[in-house]
Amino acid sequence: QITLKESGPTLVKPTQTLTLTCTFSGFSLSTSGVSVGWIRQPPGKALEWLALIYWDDDNRYSPSLRTRLTITKDTSKNQVVLTMTNMDPVDTGTYYCAHRSGQFAFDPWGQGTLVTVSS
Amino acid sequence: DIQMTQSPSSLSASVGDRVTITCRASQSISRYLNWYQQKPGKAPKVLIYAASSLQSGVPSRFSGSGSGTDFTLTISSLQPEDFATYYCHQSYSTPYAFGQGTKLEIK
């Protein structure tokens, strides 16, 4: 059974850096074709894809956030870390990590973690 | 970048109704189109992947069709537990994109 869980601060101040950790079980991020993505959702709004890291360390970012995002993996710890710099109140929302095998859907997703950006 | 346009943004329907949600890509994405269901306070769950493949455990009243730029999600007979928000998602190329969502409400 594949499970993922996001962890990190629930409240960050504007201009601070957010670090979120996705801890997973049930798969290995060194297996060919496997990737983990981050997706966020502002309150009451649609899903927004942020970043993706592949089994071979290749990564992809949302162009609009590319300069602020870094995604890394620690295969030995079964973790993926997302950092987002220069946080702003508009970055408030629920942040999800999700597993993907192949080129199709994200499945399953973590439960999500709500991050509020406020001074 | 590929844009996904989903319609309608909201829909009122009754239990037993047949409902169709559409998603259009700004360029061809072959069959790299996925559908998710999201209930309030919960993470999205995949219903359909690769345009028409039913995810394991998902009821057969859900179906997907389409290829290229135009896709549909159909619920053949709405059940009370189907009232939720639905999103399409293109996984053809990064940056990945989700549709704006369709909120399905009880009439």
Q: What is the pLDDT of residues B56-94, one digit of tens each?
A: 999 999 999 999 999 999 999 999 999 999 999 999 999
- Strand segments, DSSP code E, in chain A are 3-7, 11-12, 18-25, 34-41, 48-54, 59-61, 69-74, 79-84, 93-101, 113-117
Q: Give the pLDDT confidence score for residue B107 in this predicted structure.
A: 87
| Beta pairing class for B4-7 and B97-98 | unpaired
Across the interface, whether the CB atoms of A109 and B45 are under 8 A apart is answered yes
| Alpha-carbon distances of A79 from A82, A112, B88, rounded to whole Å | 10, 15, 27
The CA distance from B3 to B25, in Å, is: 6
Q: Does B87 touch chain A (CB under 8 A)?
A: yes
The CA distance from A74 to B36, in Å, is: 28
Alpha-helical runs (H) found in A76-117: none
Q: Considering chain A, what percentage of its residues have pLDDT values greater than 70?
A: 100
Q: Does A93 touch chain B (CB under 8 A)?
A: no
Using CA atoms of A96, A97, A100, A103 in order, give the dihedral in degrees to the nearest 10: 60
Q: Does A74 touch chain B (CB under 8 A)?
A: no
Are B83 and A29 spatial neighbours (Cβ–Cβ below 8 Å)? Answer: no
Could you say which of B1, B34, B100 has the minimum Cβ distance to residue A46? B100
Mean pLDDT of chain B: 97
Our CA-based measurement puts residue A67 at a distance from the nearest CA of chain B, in whole angstroms, of 14
Look at residue A20 and tell me whether its pLDDT is greater than 90: yes
Q: Give the pLDDT confidence score for residue B39 in this predicted structure.
A: 98
pLDDT tens profile A60-86 = 999 999 999 999 999 999 999 999 999
